[in-house]
Structure 1
């Protein structure tokens, strides 16, 4: 069976007049940070790149969302099905007419409640009624549900420049006699997985999200947090500002050497060709950041100079018909006999974030192998290491957040039983969040806010209010944009303006380099 019955998008207002195309420039801003000086001898240089989504949320990409929901018999326990229905009602009412939604459920088999439907006032009411009618029964055939969800997106007639995504929720272990959901090909779309309750299996859900294109695993142990966790995922999806974000790093002549193994960019696809490293990030939310740490080997220099040591190119696709190619940027360092070893706070913070991530992975591997004491020692080592840098200038409080996560994880290692129930899923959610550099719920959704964006923060508060009174509709996505515009009226032009200023600075630098080169030639 094919699912090519997705509804077309029908304009609900008169938009026949020609409208100016949105600015494509500046939707992703890149900053380069490295030590300004390096010695003449062969040495290493760390370069940090920050790619930030920047734009107007009214200009975001439309979304085709498929929710794949576990309605097996265990969902009857503790009114899990009721909590799922409330979480889904919030989600449905936050989508806009440019978006479409399909709901797939699975128990012993799978069922598509309806095709991808455009979200209108009428369809919202109908979809909510269908969700309210869900019943829990049967086994847990997660593979069938995920396969159906993927097929709904694959078979679409309308897909151009639309974000396809899946939110998969399960409260228990999959029934392997029906198939293994980890074997379902998911690399074409982002699959966001949610382990709901204490019986969910994080290993399966994390692996599915890791194999997908940008998805994350959220640990929702607290049954009252499902709506909040859904809201955070939705807060990202409804602010996708660019798609197909690609970064290419190229070594400059023979002044420096770059190795793909020394380019750290999280769990994103890296490829190497002809001395260049390319990283494919896929989609980027508004205000979301991707950090890339590059270790360069600077070869011995014969004289003092200020060479370019790394070329940076990036491209992305906004709402325009063509991909936007940003002007190239460069990283530069001054080679000097008297180079100072001044530390850069941003570099210190990122190195410690990555170091902590590796420590958590090692601790989890030890705990999974029943070596709980050694695992606790590994977590304590990570905490002690962060103590040494806690006073660094850290406006985003990354170190503080890492310390909080380590404290929580350590608290879940009092016994092997507690680790397996709480510590393992917490560690896995921590890992997926830091590998993707994207928010993922774990433990206390309110307290752990690493990688959260402003829209996610707003949706968290809205989801709390909605849970108190589901009969009161939350603000619409259009109202969210209106509020954001009121708080930041320059948002639509901030990105392009910053972009053109950066281009101007780069041009002036190039002119200055040419003049210096010309002066040196005349002297010679």
Structure 2
């Protein structure tokens, strides 16, 4: 194609998205934002734009001359002078920058004539946040060359682990061991009574860190990031900022690999230690991301799983983070939604029970993501699903998750329950999403818990059949086995036997508030699931009714005790009711909100979700101190960004709940 002398051809682009009168165009690693009428209606338009060199932090006022040409069916055509170009058009953009001495660095157009006021308001924030590589010097292409080598068939090029540095801080890393506490529904049962359903709460709490920053288990983290066309513009800028926070948070013993996917997937770099050099190179690789193409989640996860499976060396903690803002456009192109098998998204090599099992923590970004798929991927892999409703909350959501992953103290935990006295039988275990089993003879059972973060807690409600007896009855003995995540030492922990008294006559005694609270939490979770099923079938009034009934039960108990956890569940149910009242509300945010809540309650682990401002201070009952600390660090760095883009944050530091709920019941 002919072009004017002195005009630099920046290449082809085939994906152009229009949002609020702005076209975001990807040109070989460069994002250029233009008023869309400049692209589609006129040619050879001259306009003044402000450009920011994201590596040198310079603002350049330049004159850009755009020559827009139209190509149809592989043939070079005449300049496009009409707004009705075909949807799949390929444009060639030639530009001349009159005051720039070099074109080797990346430039991002932030504002220009006739740009919407919303973009102008974000100009200052973007100028601060798009600079991901501080202190950049030299040629960008040379700096990024290490990340652009052809992919090999086997990803065994992970960077070596510094074992000497890793073991230096092992001693005194945590204080104590896992705590096991048990709470019987009642302290006594009349000796002549055979109790068919008797509840016991088994409560576990992970140890604390003495120093969470200097002594912890190192992490292998693989982030699988959606860079499809729908992520263009502010979304991609905020994703880069969030990844910058993650990179700066990881330590020199942690390793990071990044997979970027759109229609296909590409590994930006192998597992690399986040030393000073590693961080700088990772930041530069992240800054090179551009948005284009479709959404192929399965291909992204396949490549992420391969990084985990093929690595030569292993840090003691490993996880995958998946973020997407859209529907998969490749895996299920013509399938009926009711028949979709989401397990095909997750590579078999990393499923639970395999030697390379790794949790996938998924993040659905915005209102258009496939929350059903993202939730299913998390459930299948024993991970969590978070809903990022507001654009400005992506960094906070990542921060909360990273705060947990960087504080793992327990691995491969398994809870075992053994019935002691004759006639006592184990009838059920309420374990949420955790795999549990009860022996055929009902004399024992187990729960596979997996990893625990520092200070993290788990509660499992079991039910027993208790025979008639005199004196006292020894019901169960709980035990735990797990690996210390830092020393990798096998630990077995024996809990105390659970005993109840058997008086000759009936007695009045109070029900355990801990058992009462856990029972209501479990029942509320089941009702949330039932309401979601009703909403999926289109029965929105029924979904509202289910949530309303459970909310009234909780309000009755809360009126007697003012228990904070009851109040939090009440507010959460009210929020869900509002989001399932109509099909529009449910599809807009209700489905994602409910699935994120179910993920949190079923795994008893904090997730981010699109809560209202009043609710966020109450419902995050599973946040650990490490999560709160990391979240506060995130919000301290650029609070103005959160205020500008996210007036309703999805995650906030928690209020801790009291443990007092006096309830009386007559024992016959």
Give the TM-score category using the shorter length: 0.7 to 0.9
The structure with higher relative contact order (CA 8 Å, sep 6+) is: 1
Q: Report if aligned partners of 1:86, 1:467 keep a CA contact under 8 Å in 2.
A: no
Note the 1:111-150 alignment, pairs <5 A: 111-150=266-305
For the residues of structure 2 that align with 1:316 and 1:394, how far apart are their CA atoms? Answer: 37
Note the 1:465-480 alignment, pairs <5 A: 465-468=636-639
Q: CA deviation at 1:202?
A: 0.4
Q: Secondary structure at the match of 2:620?
A: coil
Q: Report if aligned partners of 1:227, 1:467 keep a CA contact under 8 Å in 2.
A: no
For the residues of structure 1 that align with 2:526 and 2:509, how far apart are their CA atoms? Answer: 26
Q: Report if aligned partners of 1:146, 1:181 keep a CA contact under 8 Å in 2.
A: no
Q: Does 1:42 align with 2:194?
A: yes
Q: CA deviation at 1:462?
A: 1.5
Q: Which moved more, 1:341-350 or 1:131-140?
A: 341-350
- Counterpart in the other structure of 2:310: 155
Pair 109,422 (structure 1): closer, same or farther in 2 beyond 3 Å: same
Q: Does 1:312 align with 2:483?
A: no
Q: Which moved more, 1:340-349 or 1:176-185?
A: 176-185
For the residues of structure 2 that align with 1:100 and 1:23, how far apart are their CA atoms? Answer: 20
Q: CA deviation at 1:398?
A: 1.6
Q: CA deviation at 1:178?
A: 7.3
For the residues of structure 1 that align with 2:461 and 2:259, how far apart are their CA atoms? Answer: 40
For the residues of structure 1 that align with 2:275 and 2:290, how far apart are their CA atoms? Answer: 25
Q: Deviations over 1:195-231 (max 9, x none)?
A: 0011011000000000003x10001111111111101
Pair 399,103 (structure 1): closer, same or farther in 2 beyond 3 Å: same
Q: 1:253 aligns with which of 421, 426, 445?
A: 421
Q: Secondary structure at the match of 2:511?
A: coil
Gaps of at least 5 residues in structure 1 are 471-524
- Counterpart in the other structure of 1:67: 223
Q: Secondary structure at the match of 1:176?
A: coil
Q: Which moved more, 1:46-55 or 1:318-327?
A: 318-327
Q: Deviations over 1:148-168 (max 9, x none)?
A: 1111111121126x1110000
For the residues of structure 2 that align with 1:373 and 1:415, how far apart are their CA atoms? Answer: 8
Q: Report if aligned partners of 1:202, 1:425 keep a CA contact under 8 Å in 2.
A: yes
Q: 2:183 aligns with which of 33, 45, 68?
A: 33
Note the 1:185-334 alignment, pairs <5 A: 185=348, 186-187=350-351, 188-213=357-382, 215-259=383-427, 262-273=428-439, 275-301=443-469, 303=470, 305-318=471-484, 319-334=486-501
Q: 1:171 aligns with which of 319, 322, 325?
A: 325
Q: Secondary structure at the match of 1:271?
A: strand
Q: CA deviation at 1:20?
A: 7.6
Q: CA deviation at 1:419?
A: 1.2
- Counterpart in the other structure of 1:430: 597
- Counterpart in the other structure of 2:626: 455
Q: Does 1:362 align with 2:514?
A: no
Q: CA deviation at 1:352?
A: 0.7
Q: Deviations over 1:420-470 (max 9, x none)?
A: 111111111110100000001111384342211111112222212223489
- Counterpart in the other structure of 2:343: 182
Equivalences, count:
460
For the residues of structure 2 that align with 1:223 and 1:172, how far apart are their CA atoms? Answer: 14
Q: 1:407 aligns with which of 554, 574, 581?
A: 574
Q: Secondary structure at the match of 1:98?
A: coil
Q: Secondary structure at the match of 2:638?
A: helix
Which of the two has higher C-alpha Rg? 2
For the residues of structure 2 that align with 1:25 and 1:453, how far apart are their CA atoms? Answer: 16
Q: Secondary structure at the match of 1:434?
A: helix
Pair 135,463 (structure 1): closer, same or farther in 2 beyond 3 Å: same
For the residues of structure 2 that align with 1:173 and 1:159, how far apart are their CA atoms? Answer: 33
Q: 1:443 aligns with which of 601, 610, 630?
A: 610
Q: Report if aligned partners of 1:172, 1:200 keep a CA contact under 8 Å in 2.
A: yes
For the residues of structure 2 that align with 1:76 and 1:100, how far apart are their CA atoms? Answer: 27
Q: CA deviation at 1:403?
A: 1.2
TM-score, reference length from structure 2: 0.66
TM-score, reference length from structure 1: 0.83
Pair 42,461 (structure 1): closer, same or farther in 2 beyond 3 Å: same
Q: Which moved more, 1:460-469 or 1:311-320?
A: 460-469
For the residues of structure 1 that align with 2:361 and 2:548, how far apart are their CA atoms? Answer: 31
Q: Report if aligned partners of 2:576, 2:593 keep a CA contact under 8 Å in 1.
A: yes
Higher strand proportion, which one? 2
Q: Deviations over 1:24-81 (max 9, x none)?
A: 883311111112111221013211011111131344321100000000010015x110
Q: CA deviation at 1:10?
A: 2.6
For the residues of structure 2 that align with 1:20 and 1:451, how far apart are their CA atoms? Answer: 27
For the residues of structure 2 that align with 1:398 and 1:3, how far apart are their CA atoms? Answer: 46
Q: CA deviation at 1:193?
A: 0.3
Q: Report if aligned partners of 1:42, 1:297 keep a CA contact under 8 Å in 2.
A: yes
For the residues of structure 1 that align with 2:589 and 2:561, how far apart are their CA atoms? Answer: 32
- Counterpart in the other structure of 1:513: none
- Counterpart in the other structure of 2:132: none
